[in-house]
Every structure is written in C-alpha cells, then in structure tokens.
C-alpha cells in the first residue's frame, strides 16, 4: 500500500509522481481492526492514502500535537509552533486564502534550522513539504470537513529501542531542570524498580542513541540511577481496590509478575501474587550479585506493590498451586511469570552424574546469593572455570573472583567480538582479573574421587556466517588440552520449568518449553496470560518488566470489557515495518561521555557495590549531551481509535 | 588554535565557544540568554545563530554560545542570510513580549531593546501578540512573565544562591517555563540583578519615596544601611567623580531629604550585640559555635531549610538601626520634630528588607539610582556635602569591606586576628584571645553555610563563630546593587 500523494524526504511522492515513498505492508492497511489508516505525518514528511482526507485537517492535527509537544524552552519552537497551529486553524475554518503562507513558511524554516531539538526541527517537515508542493490545498475558502479521528505520539530512537518505550528524553530533561523526582516519576509510569534498573539494565536505548555516531551514547542508565538515588519520591496514593477476594492471580514475583501486579493495582484491580520464595525479585534478586545490585535497594523499590495492596503468598506452581486450582478459587484472570530459571550444564558426557565442583550458573549464583545474604559468602578453593559469554557468565566469573583463592577463567566458543555480554561487564571482569579463553569449548571433565580436577577443552575455528550473520564455529580435531580447575560453572543458557504447568492445563507451549502467547500476551487458555522469560526465553530485565506491563493492560481491558488495543504499540509496529523514522543527520559538536565512578580494583574483594552514582555536576553536563531526537507522528483514521487518550 | 571568522584568520583557546572566540577577536554576535558572569549557556534563546562549516562537514546553522570553536572551522556571523535568521529570532521573541517600554522598569537598560537596535529591526513581523497577563508579587520583587524571554539566568542564579525558588520546568506543562516557589525564596534579589529585561524586578517604591521626600508636612530622613553606599557608588562608577558619596548626599537633600544619615555604624552595633553572645558562649565552654543571622537572606534561608538546634543562631537580626539608636523616636528627638511626622527611607544593598515595618520605604541601591535618574539628578553636577551629624557612639566599628561584621565582633571581644585564609566561598580566620585560639569562618554561600551548620549540629564544628552573607562578594554585591549585566556592559 502506498501514498496517493505526499512529500517524503523532500520529494513529491504518490501515484501521479515518479517516486514511491515508503512501502507499507498489508498489515498496515488498518490501524486497529476494521479502522483503515487514511493518512500519516512523520519526521520525513507526510502522506495521504485516501481521498477522504483534507490536507489542512491532517496538518492541523499534526501542528496541534507539535504545539503540545514543545517543551517551550527555545524561542523558535515555543513561539513558532503556536503560530503554525493558528494558521492551520484558520485554513480549516475556511480562511486559508487570508493566511500569509510566506510568513508561515519562514517561521517553519526558522524552526527547522534553529530549534534546540528534534521536536522543532523535525515536527515542521510535513508542513514545509506541503507548503513547497501543495500550498494550493491550504488556501481554503470554505470550512474543511473534518470528521476523522487521529492519534499523535512523539518518539525517538532511544524510546523505540526500549521495549517499554520509556520516555528517555523526558527524564533526562528533568535532570537538566534539577528535578530528579520528576525523572523518577517518568520512569514510575512503567515500573517501580527505577534505581535497580538504573544499575543493571541492558540499555538498548544507549545502543540506539544518536550520539553513538558523534562520539559515545549518552550515559542514559547512569542518569536514571542518578535520579533514583537523588529523589525522595513517595510511592504515591494507591487507587481504591474493590472489596472481596483478589481479582487476579499473578504466579511469579520476578520482574514480569511483579510489574504486572504493579500496573494492575495502579489501575484499580486487586492482586494476589504467588512465588516459590518468600520475597519478590526472582532472577533479579537471585541471579544478579549484590556488587551490581544491592538487595536492600531492591527491597525498598519492590515494596510499593505491597503498599498499593498487592499480597504476596508463598506457593510453588505445580505443587502448591496450579492454574486450574487458581481459576477454581475464583480468580478472574491469571498471569504466569515463572521465568526461565533452570540452568543448563555444558552438554558434557558427565552431565548425567555431575561430580562435585560442576554446576550450572543459576544454581551457583543462588548459592552465592544465599551465602552473601547470610553474611557468609561460600568459600571456593582452586581455579574456577566458567563456560559461556553472556551476562550470566559475567556475573558468575566476577562472583568467583571474590570467592576463590585461585584463578578465574572464562571459556567462550566464539571470538571476543561475539561476546553477547554488556561490554562494560566484560571490561570489569578483565579488570578484576578474569582470564578469557576465546574459541574454546569444553568437551569433557577430569575427575578424581568424585571431585572435579580439570576440564578438557577443544579449540574452535570459525566457519561461514549462518542465517543470523554470525560465523559458525566448529571444533578443531585433536586440539584438546586440559585446564586444571576445581570448579566448572556452565552459564550457557536457561530453560523454563515448563513441567510446572501440566499438559492438561490447556496452556500451549512452544520450543524449549516456553509458553505460547498472542500479541496481547494471552495464552491458549481463556483468561490466562503470560510474559517475561517464560515466554521470550531468557532475556533482559526490561523485556520482562515490559511484558508484565503489557499483559496487565490486556488483563485490565479484559476485566473491564474494553478493547486491549494500544495505539502506541501499533504505531511502533508500523514505524518498524515500514522503516518510517528518519536518522538524525544534523552536525553536532562533540562532548565526551561522563565516566561512572567505581571502586578501585583493589577494593573489589567483597560484594559491596562497585559502581557509584555520578555527581550532580556530571549529571547536568551529561543531560546536556542529550539531543532530544524527538520525532512526531500523527495518524488519521476513519473511526475513533481505542485508548487514544 | 586557528579558525576563520568572516573570512579572517583568528586564534582561539581549545574549548572556547564560537561566541567567546568571536568576541575576543572583535566580531559581534547578538545574543541574549548567554551570561558569562555565571557561566550560563543554556542555548535556549537561539539568537546567537551563525553559519558554521566544521572541518568535517557541510555548512550548518548553530548557536554560537554552545558550539565550541574547532580547528579549521569557518564561521560566518553577518551574512544577509545569517542576519535574517538572527532577526527572525528576535521577532519571534518580541511576538510574545508585552512591549511596555515607556513604563517598564528596565527602560534604558534592557537587553532586548539593545538586541533590537543591534539587529536594526524596525518593522516587526509577525506582529507582537502581547499577552495581557498581570504581574505578580514575589516577595520583595515583582514578576511579569509577559516580559520574560526565558533566558533562565534567574534559575541559575537562584540555584547558585542555594535557594532554588525559581526553577525551570521543561515538560511544557508550565505555561511560563519558570516556576516560583515563594516559601523557598530568601528575598536576596539576585534574580533581579541578572534578568536582562523587566521580567523580574524589585517592587518599585520610587513614587512613594518621592512623595515622602517632597512632602512639607513630614520630616524625611534617608538612612544608608551598611554597604549601601558602596553599592550605590558602583552604580555611578562610569561618572568617575571624586567624593561620590558626598555628591549623592547633596542630590538627596536637593530631592527633599530633611536629613541624610550614614547608618553604617549599625553594623558595629550588631557586632557588639553578637560579640556579647559569643563572650557568653565561650564562657560556658560550649562545644557549639554561634551562627550569625544578621544577613536577612541567610536568616530566611536558615529558617526555612535548616533543622538546627535553637541555640545555634544568634538572636541579633537586621535591621539593627532601631536597636542602635536610629529608631523613629530617637531621630525625632534628635532633630526636634514630632514623632508622628518622622518618615524614614532606608537605602539597602539588597531586597530582603523591603516591607520592613521600621521604615516607610526601602529602596535598594539600584532603586535609588533609578530614582535619581528619574529626577534628572546626577552626582557629577552636585557639590559634595556631608552626612547629617548624628550622635553615634564613636567607638562603634563599621562593617568590613564586604559587609561582614566578623572583624568587628573579634575586635569587640578583644581578640587579635593573626591569620586569614580564603578558599572558595569561605574565609577562615584565626584569632588570639588571651591564650586561646579562636577559629571563625566567614561564608559567602547559603549552601556552604548549611553544610557548616549540619557539621555544628553534630558537634563537629572547628569554629567558634560563623558569619554568613548570602551574596557572593558580600553586601556591596547584594541583590540590590547594580545589575550584573549592566556592570558587564559598562566594564
């Protein structure tokens, strides 16, 4: 499907011109079910799919959103956006002929050339295109028929990259304004673990940051942490919950379930949460060592769910409770967030009867957690070898350096460039003395008296790239060598405890035992939803929290008899599938990224937190590096769009 | 390092902005929000636009104040296209500004007027909308957000003062961008000192003062608070005449003042009272120091923000004049007039005492400067006269050069200063009192003083006495002294 006319990237596009513009798949024909997409504006221009649309009406909607989106700091956008909106208002009222469009054009170009941020610079692109090529359509003499519906949203590369679409520039702005509490509020709209996420998030936002092409991404995660560490935010007034038994049962108090409960409670639905442990946290508590995430912070930030009225019960899925038993008890909906908490061994012949000293990374990290929490971290002796290259492997090897008197090594089957772990984690591991062996894979163990004494390692060689673009690796015959060690920890993957859900519960599962869900996180069983690692496979914290949030929306809609459709999510889908968002190409001067202060290596023997918060001056300077690459999009449809407020 | 401005080779230091490098090399770039005395460069007014071609890229329009000059950069500050952009920015600023120039408190000293002149703007397009809001009171000041150009200088200054009563809000929800929280305001007036336009200014008491001065039924005494004279001399500095103070006294009498009194000995009276408290504290061997509260802005700050024990602060407060013999009845008696006909006008280096019931009008030094301009009086045309003689106790000391009373307190105690070290916002003073060594601190920052107070509350203070002046540079640079931007301009 293509535009019948429009201006895109400065060129006229459409059926009557040479250029085509962006291509929309058939999945974009309807914005929401039964509601065709009629027109669209964005940072690269505008396009109209249907004759029903009047150009002044489309542009008025867009400029109203622009005037609203303006943060009002800089002169051109603050003053100009209002003038543009008023001009289009006149056009829609039928006085387009009387508007001085030359003056309007000058103001729009001034905004594009000199606004402080993306809102002003890109928000005027549709109007400029229209004025340059379709101005005759704006010189109205009669009021314009406008019975169409619209939805507008501003986004940015960082916002799109974040699974939860947290408004990153907004909380950076709050830091610039010396209002850390407002920064925290912006994040609390998505999850309560602000400072925790500010310490351990995998930060896809930073990977997408425009400043990567100038010098370095903005230190977004460090600023979120700064805000959390400096703001005294009260948990907020809870919404009154209905009387009687809880409406929703959440199974799993890890990031997905806990966040699902958070959002349900905030929208007025009562929740009972069940977990095999007595405290919330799941993988973020037991799988992330204290030197990265202090547990008292996690406790403090998690408490809000209980303050809002959520009740945590200790019960294990499969033994104490089942999905059916919960439904029988009267819960109107169930959310399953059991994670992927079963660690795997390294696919060695000894896996069926592992000797002492050989374990999987999840079990290891649990032992470490329990020891540290009790004040007696488990002592280890001799060399420790970790197999794997992801963040779990880094957590394991850095924990091991703090516990053993021997060396700590990591075996990774691919190359250094292929390591999936966060590269700052890798740098810290190297600083803390971990030795990396690349293109190395274990093939067997040396055992003596039932105890591990060494691991047999094969060298790997790289082959051709596979479908995902990664080069395959294969073992080099006869390259075997032995690494002496007393501990071998396999951190190569995790699985869902899918056995916790019996086959007769009516919940379909997919590959590797993950739970199958549709776009609204609903499983194959009525009123049963799921999200997090047990759906996506082992993934990031932010992914799990976001899926909990989306599932909560779907559950609330179900309970209230509403359409669960999310226009914001739909917009992201269309932006991605039609590659609509433009790149930020303006030249900007270079300013180096601030460094996060951390403990010197000699002091990293214990599990005390390694990284520290940046100073207020550093936070302010870093906030100034943010370019606010906002892009404004407006869609026009025939009928009202659900949940578009 | 080398670059090119308007086709000419220029040198600059690494890290210098295009604006700074241009100024250094004699190239004018119009600007508004950038303010060097505070190192304030929010880059929001977007007036200082220049065309810049970085060594690695194509020509682009950038604001000069926030863009560092780079080796090999080519900058154009005044091509017709660039000037059109600069002019348009000023037009847009003016489109939301209430043009009230004739009646505005910044007439003649307004940076927006200067900008308009510099850009050669006569016809305005688009025409000014002129919002019809009303100014609002903000402590001793008046805020008129229809004149605000959103330069955010007041926000930076208020943060540096430690109060943060003025804060920016860029969510776009706050219509005026800048929020004012009255309960956090310490009334120093420094915000008015940095505003480039008439958006924030002291409450104007000039009309009331002129009425008092010209009334035949009343006896009007003008009293100079400690350091007010210094602040006022600064305002008239460009005239560079001898005995400025004497000439100002003459002008005031010409305006109708029945008496002009140098009240700076009130500082000495305060010092006496404080040193008596200190003597008592030292005799008790108390571990905690005394924090002076004579600076009214610091006193307001401490009251609102510090949860300190009651005995930490001295009971001596400004104004000290009534307590030191300069009260209404004392003056009436001295000049032989009925007390009901006595009127007092205080000239103060800051805004904090505005509204004080001991006086009938309080003018800041800047306010008096404007009053004299309004009346067509300049000191260079007056022959110097002396202050009215007033029986102030001779042995009372004056305030120090920055308005401080620490030296007077120590002298009154009988201590001898033997060492003084200045580091940032604190001056540490060591004095010998008999066989003991007293350490005192003179602090020019409320935020820093708050740290010292917290230290003292925990029992860890090394000082016997801490004096705090809320304004950097002390009272002569108070919130009522000559505006920083005018000072910068006249420099």
On whether residue A645 sits in a domain, the answer given is no
Position B123 scores a pLDDT of 56
Same domain, A163 and A144: no
On whether residue A144 sits in a domain, the answer given is yes
On whether residue A578 sits in a domain, the answer given is no
Can you give the residue range of the structural domain that contains A547? 248-341+496-565
| Cβ separation B171–A586 shorter than 8 A | no
Mean pLDDT of B109-132: 74
Q: Pick from A69, A114, A170: which is nearest to B46 by CB? A: A114
Position A212 scores a pLDDT of 95
pLDDT above 70 as % of chain A: 99
A103: left (phi over 0), alpha (psi -120 to 50) or beta: alpha
Position A242 scores a pLDDT of 83
Same domain, A180 and A146: no
> How confident is the model over A345-380, as pLDDT tens digits?
999 999 999 999 999 999 999 999 999 999 999 999
| Cβ separation A74–B93 shorter than 8 A | no
Position B427 scores a pLDDT of 95
The C-alpha atoms of residue B397 and residue B399 are separated, in whole angstroms, by 7
**Mean pLDDT, all residues of chain B:** 89
| Cβ separation A177–B169 shorter than 8 A | yes
Position A428 scores a pLDDT of 95
Same domain, A123 and A177: no
| Cβ separation B96–A586 shorter than 8 A | no
Is the minimum CB–CB distance between B53 and chain A shorter than 8 Å? no
Which of A164-178, A299-313, A576-590 is predicted with the least confidence, judged by mean pLDDT? A576-590
Position B131 scores a pLDDT of 60
Same domain, A326 and A369: no
Position B445 scores a pLDDT of 93
- Number of folded domains that form chain A: 4
On whether residue A145 sits in a domain, the answer given is yes
pLDDT band of residue B287 (cuts 50, 70, 90) is: confident
Backbone angles phi, psi at B93, to 5 degrees: -60, -45
Same domain, A294 and A165: no
Same domain, A593 and A558: no
**Mean pLDDT, all residues of chain A:** 94
On whether residue A36 sits in a domain, the answer given is yes
The C-alpha atoms of residue B230 and residue B480 are separated, in whole angstroms, by 11
Same domain, A17 and A127: yes
Partners of B50 in the beta sheet?
B62
Same domain, A95 and A149: yes
Give the C-alpha distances (Å, rounded to integers) separating A254 from A276, A337, A421, A574, B52.
11, 7, 21, 31, 52
Position B122 scores a pLDDT of 64
Q: Which of B438, B463, B433, B435 is nearest to B448 (CA)?
A: B463
We report the CATH number of the domain holding residue A203 as: 1.10.1060.10
Element (H, E) at A633: strand A631-637
Mean pLDDT of A99-120: 95
- Please identify among residues 603-642 of chain A the ones whose CB lies closer than 8 Å to any CB of chain B: none
On whether residue A329 sits in a domain, the answer given is yes
With the CA atoms of A70, A76, A80 and A82 taken in that order, what torsion angle do they form, in degrees rounded to the nearest 10? 40
> How confident is the model over A223-282, as pLDDT tens digits?
999 999 999 766 666 678 888 889 999 999 999 999 999 999 999 999 999 999 999 999
Q: Which of A604, A112, A586 is nearest to A403 (CA)?
A: A604
| Cβ separation A589–B67 shorter than 8 A | yes
Position B378 scores a pLDDT of 86
We report the CATH number of the domain holding residue A464 as: 3.50.50.60
pLDDT band of residue A468 (cuts 50, 70, 90) is: confident
Buried b (16+ CB within 10 A) or exposed e, B74-98: ebbbbeeebbebbbbbbbbbbbbbb
Position A243 scores a pLDDT of 84
Mean pLDDT of B450-460: 90
Same domain, A26 and A130: yes
Which of A31-45, A215-229, B474-488 is predicted with the least confidence, judged by mean pLDDT? B474-488
Q: Which of A99, A502, A62 is nearest to A319 (CA)?
A: A502
Same domain, A402 and A535: no
Last residue of a domain, one of A477, A492, A507: A492
> How confident is the model over A415-428, as pLDDT tens digits?
999 999 998 999 99
| Cβ separation B46–A182 shorter than 8 A | no
pLDDT band of residue B97 (cuts 50, 70, 90) is: confident
CB-CB neighbors (< 8 A) of A115 in chain B: 46
Is the minimum CB–CB distance between B16 and chain A shorter than 8 Å? no
Q: Which of A527, A172, A162 is nearest to A330 (CA)?
A: A527
ipTM at complex level: 0.86
Position A215 scores a pLDDT of 94
pLDDT of B393 over the 80 cut: no
The C-alpha atoms of residue B269 and residue B333 are separated, in whole angstroms, by 20
pLDDT of A443 over the 70 cut: yes
A238 versus B260: the higher-pLDDT residue is B260
Inter-residue contact A485 to A382 (CB < 8 Å): yes
pLDDT of A433 over the 70 cut: yes
Is the minimum CB–CB distance between A180 and chain B shorter than 8 Å? no
On whether residue A579 sits in a domain, the answer given is no
Give the C-alpha distances (Å, rounded to integers) separating B293 from A293, B162, B272, B274.
45, 16, 14, 9
Last residue of a domain, one of A492, A521, A544: A492
On whether residue A257 sits in a domain, the answer given is yes
We report the CATH number of the domain holding residue A125 as: 1.20.1440.230
Position B297 scores a pLDDT of 94
Position B229 scores a pLDDT of 86
Same domain, A199 and A321: no
pLDDT of B132 over the 70 cut: no
Å from B360 to nearest chain A CA? Answer: 39
The C-alpha atoms of residue A420 and residue B442 are separated, in whole angstroms, by 56
pLDDT band of residue B172 (cuts 50, 70, 90) is: low
pLDDT above 90 as % of chain A: 88
Token pair listed for A332: 């109107």
The C-alpha atoms of residue B197 and residue B112 are separated, in whole angstroms, by 6
Q: Pick from B47, B152, B170: which is nearest to A173 by CB? A: B170
Could you tell me where the beta strands, DSSP code E, fall in A231-270? 248-251
The C-alpha atoms of residue A161 and residue B224 are separated, in whole angstroms, by 64
Position A99 scores a pLDDT of 95
CB-CB neighbors (< 8 A) of A112 in chain B: none
> How confident is the model over A121-158, as pLDDT tens digits?
999 999 999 999 999 999 999 999 888 999 999 999 99
> How confident is the model over A24-34, as pLDDT tens digits?
888 878 999 99
pLDDT band of residue B218 (cuts 50, 70, 90) is: very high
CB-CB neighbors (< 8 A) of A83 in chain B: 95, 126
Same domain, A172 and A259: no
């Amino acid at each position: 499907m293509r535009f019948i006319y429009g201006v895109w990237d400065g060129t006229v596009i459409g059926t009557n011109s040479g250029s085509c513009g962006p291509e929309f798949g058939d999945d974009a024909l309807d914005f929401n079910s039964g509601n065709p997409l009629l027109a669209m504006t964005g940072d690269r221009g505008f396009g109209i799919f249907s004759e029903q649309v009047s150009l002044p009406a489309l542009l008025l909607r867009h400029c109203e959103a622009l005037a609203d989106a303006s943060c009002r700091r800089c002169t051109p956008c603050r003053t100009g956006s209002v003038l543009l909106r008023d001009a289009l208002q006149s056009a829609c009222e039928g006085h387009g002929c009387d508007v001085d469009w030359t003056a309007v054009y000058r103001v729009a170009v001034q905004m594009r050339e000199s606004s402080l941020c993306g809102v002003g610079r890109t928000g005027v692109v549709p109007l400029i295109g229209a004025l340059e090529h379709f101005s005759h359509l704006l010189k109205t003499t009669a009021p314009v028929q406008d019975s169409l519906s619209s939805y507008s949203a501003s986004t940015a590369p960082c916002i799109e990259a974040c699974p939860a679409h947290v408004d990153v520039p907004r909380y950076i702005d709050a830091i610039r304004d010396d209002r850390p509490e407002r920064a925290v509020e912006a994040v609390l709209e998505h999850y309560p673990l602000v400072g925790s996420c500010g310490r351990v998030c995998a930060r896809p936002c930073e990977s997408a940051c425009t400043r990567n092409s100038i010098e370095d991404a903005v230190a977004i995660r460090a600023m979120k942490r700064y805000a959390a560490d400096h703001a005294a935010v009260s948990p907020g007034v809870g919404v009154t919950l209905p009387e009687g038994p809880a409406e929703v049962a959440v199974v799993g108090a890890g990031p997905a379930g806990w966040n699902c409960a958070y959002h349900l409670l905030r929208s007025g639905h009562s929740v009972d949460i069940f977990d095999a442990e007595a405290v919330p946290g799941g993988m973020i508590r037991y799988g992330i060592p204290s030197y990265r995430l202090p547990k008292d912070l996690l406790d403090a930030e998690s408490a809000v769910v209980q303050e809002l009225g959520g009740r945590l019960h200790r019960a294990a899925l499969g033994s104490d409770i089942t999905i059916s038993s919960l439904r029988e008890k009267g819960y109107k909906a169930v959310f399953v967030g059991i994670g992927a908490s079963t660690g795997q061994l390294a696919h060695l012949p000894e896996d069926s009867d592992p000797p002492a000293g050989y374990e999987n990374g999840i079990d290891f990290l649990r032992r470490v957690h329990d020891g540290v929490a009790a004040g007696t971290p488990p002592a280890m002796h001799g060399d420790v070898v970790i197999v794997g290259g992801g963040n779990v492997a880094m957590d394991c090897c850095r924990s091991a350096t703090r516990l053993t008197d021997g060396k700590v090594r990591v075996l990774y089957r691919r190359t250094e460039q292929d390591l999936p772990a966060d590269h700052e984690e890798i740098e810290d591991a190297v600083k803390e003395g971990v030795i990396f062996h690349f293109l190395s894979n274990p093939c067997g163990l040396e055992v003596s008296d039932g105890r591990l004494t060494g691991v047999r390692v094969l060298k790997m060689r790289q082959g051709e790239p596979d479908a995902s673009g990664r080069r395959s690796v294969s073992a080099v015959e006869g390259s075997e060598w032995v690494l002496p060690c007393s501990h071998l920890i396999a951190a190569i993957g995790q699985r869902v405890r899918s056995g916790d859900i019996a086959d007769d519960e009516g919940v379909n599962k997919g590959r590797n035992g993950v739970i199958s869900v549709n776009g609204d996180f609903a499983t194959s069983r009525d009123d049963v939803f799921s999200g997090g690692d047990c759906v996506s496979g082992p993934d990031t914290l932010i992914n799990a929290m976001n899926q909990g949030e989306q599932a909560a929306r779907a559950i609330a809609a179900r309970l209230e008899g509403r359409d669960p459709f999310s226009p914001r999510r739909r917009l992201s889908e269309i932006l991605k599938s039609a590659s609509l968002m433009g790149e930020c190409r303006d030249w900007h001067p270079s300013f180096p990224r601030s460094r996060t202060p951390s403990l010197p290596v000699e002091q990293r023997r214990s599990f005390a937190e390694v990284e520290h918060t940046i100073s207020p001056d550093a936070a302010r300077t870093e906030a100034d590096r943010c370019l606010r690459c906002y892009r404004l999009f407006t869609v026009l449809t025939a009928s009202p769009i659900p949940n578009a407020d | 390092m080398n670059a090119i401005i308007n086709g000419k080779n220029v040198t600059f230091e690494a890290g210098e902005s295009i604006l700074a490098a241009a100024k250094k090399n004699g190239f004018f770039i119009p600007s508004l929000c950038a303010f060097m005395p505070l190192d304030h460069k929010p880059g929001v007014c977007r007036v200082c636009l220049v065309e810049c071609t970085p060594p690695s890229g194509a020509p682009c329009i950038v604001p000069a104040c926030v863009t560092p000059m780079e080796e090999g950069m080519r900058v154009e500050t005044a091509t017709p296209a660039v000037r059109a952009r600069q002019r348009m920015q000023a037009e847009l600023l003016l489109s939301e500004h209430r043009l009230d120039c004739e009646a505005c408190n910044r007439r003649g000293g307004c940076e927006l007027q200067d900008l308009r002149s510099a850009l050669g703007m006569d016809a305005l397009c688009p025409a000014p909308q002129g919002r019809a809001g009303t100014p609002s009171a903000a402590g001793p000041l008046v805020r008129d957000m229809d004149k605000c150009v959103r330069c955010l200088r007041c926000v930076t200054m208020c943060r540096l003062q430690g109060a943060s009563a003025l804060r920016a809000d860029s969510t776009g929800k706050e219509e005026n961008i800048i929020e004012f929280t009255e309960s956090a305001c310490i009334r120093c007036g420094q915000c008015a000192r940095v505003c480039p336009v008439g958006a924030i200014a002291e409450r104007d008491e000039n009309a009331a003062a002129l009425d008092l001065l010209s009334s035949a039924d009343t006896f009007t005494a003008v009293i100079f608070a400690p350091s007010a004279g210094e602040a006022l001399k600064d305002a008239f500095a460009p005239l560079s005449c001898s005995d400025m103070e004497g000439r100002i006294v003459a002008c005031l009498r010409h305006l109708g003042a029945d008496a002009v009194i140098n009240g700076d000995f009130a500082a000495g009276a305060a010092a006496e009272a404080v040193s008596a408290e200190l003597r008592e504290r030292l005799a008790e061997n108390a571990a905690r120091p005394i924090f002076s509260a004579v600076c009214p802005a610091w006193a307001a700050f401490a009251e609102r923000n510090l949860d300190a024990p009651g005995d930490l602060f001295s009971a001596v407060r400004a104004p000290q004049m009534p307590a030191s013999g300069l009260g209404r009845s004392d003056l009436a008696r001295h000049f032989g007039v009925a007390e009901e006909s006595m009127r007092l006008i205080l000239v103060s280096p800051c805004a904090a005492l505005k509204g004080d019931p001991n006086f009938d009008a309080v003018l800041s030094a800047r306010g008096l400067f404007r009053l004299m301009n309004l009346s067509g009086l300049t000191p260079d045309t007056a022959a110097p006269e002396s202050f009215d003689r007033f029986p102030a106790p001779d042995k009372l000391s004056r305030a120090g050069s920055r308005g401080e009373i620490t030296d007077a307190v120590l002298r009154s105690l009988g201590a001898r200063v033997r060492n003084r070290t200045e580091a940032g916002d604190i001056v540490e003073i060591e004095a010998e009192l008999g066989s003991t060594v007293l350490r005192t601190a003179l602090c020019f920052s409320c935020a820093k003083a708050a740290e010292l107070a917290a230290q003292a509350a925990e029992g860890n203070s090394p000082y016997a006495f801490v004096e705090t002046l809320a304004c950097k540079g002390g009272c002569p640079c108070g919130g009522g002294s000559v505006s920083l931007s005018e000072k910068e301009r006249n420099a």
